[in-house]
Amino acid sequence: MTSAPAHPFLHAFAPPAKPESDFVTIVRGRGSVVYDDKGKDYIDALASLWYCQIGHGRGEMTEAVTAQMERLAAYQTFDPFTNEPAARLAEMVSERSPLPDGRVFFGCSGSEAVDTALKLARLVAQRRGEPDRQVVIKRTHGYHGTNFGGTSAQGIAANREGWGDLVPHFLEVPNRDIEAMATAFARHGERVAAVIAEPVQGGGGIYPPPDGYLEGVRRLCDRHGALMILDEVICGFGRTGEWFGAQTFGVTPDLMTFAKGVTSGYLPLSGVIASRRVCEAIEEPGFVLRTGYTYSGHPTAAAAGIRNLEIIADESLVERARHVGRALADGLDALAADGLIASHRGAGAVRGAVLEGDAAPVRADMLARGVIVRPIGNVLALCPPLVITDDEIGRIIDTMADSIRAVA
């Protein structure tokens, strides 16, 4: 017996054998709420996939994007071309970052940003006359996208498996252990091009850094001539209560990746901020940076980024992230006091509720009750739009409590 052909849509991070009809069809969104094709509403407690800082359905974004499309929808930025939205967004991003004299390279996805940052780190070593400096230290539970560089940099073993050989010279250390990092440097220091780390690990289970950890990584990088890459794809643009996680945790990296919150996901856009020091290694007249993407500096995506950053500033959403984080933490404290969850952790408005068992059945029950969260092992990840209301936060917490009781 031959099975019926599957639907043409092959989903990301999903079982290919799952029928299309078993997926939830989201048809519209407004603020922190999305609706499916049957009219059911859901609180989007994950901001889609950690990205929708300003909430769904914002007319200002439609207007900004439409205006740009009517002028010039798209044009390439390979030499000799540029465009005003991309140049303006580069200024806006660098001004808000801890690298105000840095430069911004654009891509479309976090994975493209990560692979570019890894290439730039190695390029700097090559150009400084250190051809053997190619090792990248990465951490358990790290998530750095799914291109080959990012897959090799993953600290989530399951995401690395099944693809054949990955990129060589990646070295994994435990995620919150500065001694392990120091040992790796002691053994391989002269060969280390960079360390890559998320300020708060997101996809691997919401692990904030221990006090002083990122400063310790910074010191080790400086001592051994390596670059520090902060992967800010989730933490960037207010999520941790400052524009970037680097500022929340008081460190200045050499390279920073961003995506998601830069446009709140209205259009795909990502980038790498390169520090002055990194730029100086490549700004030699005559040298050509031979990497980039067709859509690097896409003007309509950049227009979405500009309008999104204006909204984040106008509505004080960076400060609001601290309030959202406190409200989530208070709710989760209450669940822990009632013995419903074991603990919780996070920073700003990205938090994980640690359950006693597998989080997947609780996620399924919460989804049925109209709240979207993400299960990661025994953790339920929360990362709502920064415009979420206190009532909506209350509904997330109450639903989590109901679902944990129901599943138990």
Which of 110/325 has CB closer to ligand PLP? 110
How far, in Å, CA of 386 to CA of 234, rounded?
13
What is the smallest separation between the CB atom of 206 and ligand PLP, expressed in angstroms? 11
Cβ atoms of 120 and 278 within 8 Å: the answer is yes
Cβ atoms of 227 and 119 within 8 Å: the answer is no
Peptide bond before residue 80 is cis, with ω within 30 degrees of 0: yes
What is the smallest separation between the CB atom of 330 and ligand PLP, expressed in angstroms? 26
Work out the burial of residue 180: count CB atoms within 10 Å of its CB; fewer than 13 is exposed, 13-18 middle, 19 or more buried: middle
What is the smallest separation between the CB atom of 63 and ligand PLP, expressed in angstroms? 25
What is the smallest separation between the CB atom of 109 and ligand PLP, expressed in angstroms? 4
Give whole-number Cα distances, 244 to 100, 207, 254, 348, in Å: 12, 16, 14, 11
Which of 98/145 has CB closer to ligand PLP? 145
For ligand PLP, which residue has the nearest CB?
A: 110
Question: Angle, to 10 degrees, between the axis of helix 390-407 and the axis of helix 360-368?
Answer: 120
Which of 63/161 has CB closer to ligand PLP? 161
How far, in Å, CA of 147 to CA of 233, rounded?
14
Which of 331/346 has CB closer to ligand PLP? 346
Best CA proximity match to 381, nearest among 110, 46, 14, 44: 46
What is the 8-class DSSP label of residue 201?
Answer: B
Write phi, then psi, for 336 (nearest 5 degrees): -65, -40
Tally the C-alpha atoms within 13 A of residue 82's C-alpha that lie toward its C-beta: 8
Which of 227/404 has CB closer to ligand PLP? 227
Which of 50/105 has CB closer to ligand PLP? 50
What is the smallest separation between the CB atom of 39 and ligand PLP, expressed in angstroms? 29
What is the smallest separation between the CB atom of 73 and ligand PLP, expressed in angstroms? 22
Which of 198/365 has CB closer to ligand PLP? 198
Q: Which residues bind ligand PLP (CB under 6 A)?
A: 50, 109-111, 114, 143-145, 198, 202-203, 231, 233-234, 259
How far, in Å, CA of 196 to CA of 62, rounded?
35
Tally the C-alpha atoms within 13 A of residue 181's C-alpha that lie toward its C-beta: 26
How far, in Å, CA of 218 to CA of 315, rounded?
33
Cβ atoms of 135 and 191 within 8 Å: the answer is yes
Which of 231/254 has CB closer to ligand PLP? 231
Which of 226/233 has CB closer to ligand PLP? 233
What is the smallest separation between the CB atom of 204 and ligand PLP, expressed in angstroms? 9
What is the smallest separation between the CB atom of 111 and ligand PLP, expressed in angstroms? 3
What is the smallest separation between the CB atom of 282 and ligand PLP, expressed in angstroms? 23
Best CA proximity match to 249, nearest among 197, 315, 204, 174: 197
